[in-house]
Amino acid sequence: MNSATLHSFGIGLATKNSRNDIIEVFYPQPTVKPTQELCNAIMDACSFESGVNGYQEISTNTQNVLRSAIEAADDPTVFDSTCELLRSYENDEDTSQCLIICILSTDTAPTTVPEAYFKLHLLSHRLAKPHSLNLDGLFAVLVNLAWTNQGPIDIADLPHKQLEARLKNELLEVMSVDKFPKMTNYIVPTGVRIAHTARVRLGAYIGEGTTVMHEGFVNFNAGTEGPAMIEGRISAGVMVGANSDLGGGCSTMGTLSGGGTEIITVGQNCLIGANAGIGFPLADGCIIEAGLYVTAGTKVKLLNNKGEIEKTLKAKELAGICNLLYRRNSISGAVECIPLKGTVSLNEELHSHN
């Protein structure tokens, strides 16, 4: 009997292209830190080597063994949807889908599509927070797909599928062509409002009590800790603290496009005004005036409570200082910041998602 310890595992329904390659996977409920009993049962049922990450297609026999093992283990971390998938899936002549199991023994960079989708699911299920998983090389692993009303389709298969639909007098609508699907086609976290679901990617971490308005956008490996109002852009890698508000048209600078390594965060009880933005970590209780974009290198005049200039610093040198108002002097055009007496509070009625 194996005695390996698994970091996490998931039973998933995978989609294949015409070349029999897996192009995406839906995991109804990933499981983290399963009991040792369940780890042993999984390793015995499947041909995994101890201490490795990977996936395998589940045969009918393995499907029954896994279902029995999971139900017998009675592990509270395994949800009913996993058992339902194992009970309900039937192997038939349809080669476009298959049942798989993916395991992570260690947190190494994903090397296969099932591993990549599994890690994105962990984030959107709130089982792992942004920057807690190794996602190195994720873009190279994911496949660019046509996301349609009939499911994901490999780009090379799309012309045939379009013709096939027309011949059946059906509509094959292509909503997007991208490596990332929208999160809500896989997961709808509890206690959130998302006005335009196409603007939240799979792999986003949306904390309970968050409202994402129509123009709000949340990338993968990014998101919100808890109650938040998002009317602006949360770029890849950016985490927004609880009770913060990102105004319409505002943005946060990610770390992907410019090749930088600085992780941009927004603290708790912050406000980034409409059409404003940041390129440095914003501490708790800070406000960025509407229309003002403050990058890490922006020269900022630090004022005291009397309005006197104490010193001039780069914005990144103020990253750890809480309760500051960043504004642009309407006469001189200089960027200034002054101490704040209070902090931002969200409208409780607007953010109740019951």
- Tell me how crowded residue 157 is: count the other CB atoms within 10 A of its CB: 17
**Per-residue model confidence (pLDDT) at position 350:** 45
329 is known to lie in a ligand binding site = yes
CB 269 within 8 A of CB 285: yes
CB 225 within 8 A of CB 242: yes
Distance, in Å, from the CA atom of 238 to the CA atom of 222, rounded to the nearest integer, reads 5
Catalytic residues: 231
328 is known to lie in a ligand binding site = yes
- Tell me how crowded residue 87 is: count the other CB atoms within 10 A of its CB: 12
- Tell me how crowded residue 100 is: count the other CB atoms within 10 A of its CB: 19
pLDDT digits (tens, 9 = 90+) for 263-314: 899 999 999 999 999 999 999 999 999 999 999 999 999 998 788 888 999 9
Distance, in Å, from the CA atom of 107 to the CA atom of 7, rounded to the nearest integer, reads 8
3-state secondary structure of 199: helix
Instruction: Kindly give the parts of the chain with pLDDT less than 70.
Output: 1-4, 255-261, 342-354
**Per-residue model confidence (pLDDT) at position 67:** 87
195 is known to lie in a ligand binding site = no
- Which of 323, 130, 316 lies closest to 239, judged by CA? 130
**Per-residue model confidence (pLDDT) at position 3:** 53
Q: Name the residue ranges covered by the structural domains of the chain.
A: 8-141, 148-178, 183-339
**Per-residue model confidence (pLDDT) at position 349:** 46
45 is known to lie in a ligand binding site = no
Q: At the topology level of CATH, where does 183-339 sit?
A: UDP N-Acetylglucosamine Acyltransferase; domain 1 (2.160.10)
Q: Does domain 8-141 have CATH number 3.30.70.2010?
A: yes
| Six token digits for residue 181 | 């699907």
- Strands of 257-298, DSSP E: 265-266, 271-272, 277-279, 287-288, 293-295
